[in-house]
């Protein structure tokens, strides 16, 4: 209805300060499409934030505020690889507009694929996460950020104990790139892949269904130059085992553009190592 007056829409989310000069991390979906971004600190001080960069594929955004004479307190990144199922985790955020809400739970699973893009495997937690918690930090018991609360699975829209956080080790690198370049630079191999089915494994002489089957090679991609062929099965990338096909895009994307990657492939009943200079 065109006659209705347009009211500004307001969205709520969470974020955390990672440096004393006012760099803030949040989710891309928290600020996506926003005309104006306001950051409200725990003591109700308000700042207008500038968007430094965002990455929709990993659902991360980096903001900057100018604290002037205000002394900001920043948080430190922790090592998400150290987390194990059963470890305690603490979420802080702004659920339903109730800023500064702290909830606790355990890490329920690590490396969870919830089908939201190829580049992130999530930490799962049963700490209560609701609408407005997105972009907030998930801490370990030492008060270091090991995840960024991003999604929940719920039929009701409220927390039923299935919360998902982007691991800090994945986020750290992306956040640094958004800060430095305003965009993410991901490694590129230039292959189309599919899962290794039971039939594929048997016909190729593989002992299991691990790896990524190369169905096509981009004629202008780095793989073509390096000599990877359609029909190869990629088993290992820079000494990281490719257990499922979906592991490959993530480990390639996390590698530096222009770096030389060691790719182990299965071809004609033997393993060979091919060195590929990754594109962007």
pLDDT at residue number 6: 63
pLDDT at residue number 2: 56
pLDDT at residue number 119: 80
Rounded CA gap, 191 and 271, in Å? 18
pLDDT at residue number 254: 87
pLDDT at residue number 3: 56
Rounded CA gap, 116 and 132, in Å? 19
Catalytic residue among 55, 59, 126, 232: 59
Catalytic residue among 14, 29, 223, 255: 29
pLDDT at residue number 275: 93
151-155: Cβ within 8 A, 24+ apart: 151/114, 151/116, 151/122, 153/114
Q: Tell me the chain's radius of gyration from C-alpha atoms.
A: 21
pLDDT at residue number 5: 60
Name the stretches of the chain with pLDDT < 50.
Answer: none
Catalytic residue among 89, 134, 223, 255: 134
pLDDT at residue number 169: 93
pLDDT at residue number 157: 84
Residues 49-59 pLDDT 10s:
999 999 999 99
| Residue 259 bears catalytic tag | no
| C-beta of residue 280 within 8 angstroms of C-beta of residue 186 | yes
Identify the H or E element spanning 222. helix 222-226
């Amino acid at each position: 209805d065109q006659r209705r007056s347009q009211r500004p829409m307001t969205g709520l989310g969470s974020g955390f300060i990672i440096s004393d000069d006012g760099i803030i991390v949040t989710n891309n979906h928290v600020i996506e499409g926003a005309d104006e971004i306001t950051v409200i600190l725990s003591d109700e001080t308000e700042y207008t934030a500038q968007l430094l960069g965002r990455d929709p594929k990993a659902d991360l955004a980096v903001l900057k505020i100018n604290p002037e004479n205000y002394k900001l307190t920043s948080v430190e990144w922790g090592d998400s690889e150290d987390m194990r199922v059963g470890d305690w985790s603490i979420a802080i955020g702004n659920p339903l507009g109730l800023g500064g809400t702290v909830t606790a739970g355990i890490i329920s699973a690590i490396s969870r694929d919830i089908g939201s893009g190829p580049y992130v495997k999530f930490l799962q937690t049963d700490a209560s996460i609701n609408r407005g918690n997105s972009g907030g930090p998930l801490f370990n018991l030492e008060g270091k950020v090991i995840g960024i609360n991003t999604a929940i699975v719920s039929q009701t829209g409220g927390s039923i104990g299935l919360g998902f956080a982007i691991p800090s080790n994945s986020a750290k690198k992306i956040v640094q790139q958004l800060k430095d370049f305003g965009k993410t630079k991901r490694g590129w191999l230039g292959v189309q892949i599919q899962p290794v089915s039971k039939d594929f494994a048997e016909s190729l002489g593989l002992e299991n269904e691990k790896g990524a089957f190369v169905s096509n090679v981009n004629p202008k991609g780095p793989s073509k130059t390096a000599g990877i062929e359609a029909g190869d099965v990629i088993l290992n990338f820079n000494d990281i085992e490719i257990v499922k096909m979906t592991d490959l895009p993530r480990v390639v994307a996390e590698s530096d553009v222009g770096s030389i990657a060691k790719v182990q492939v299965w071809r004609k009943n033997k393993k060979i190592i091919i060195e590929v200079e990754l594109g962007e």
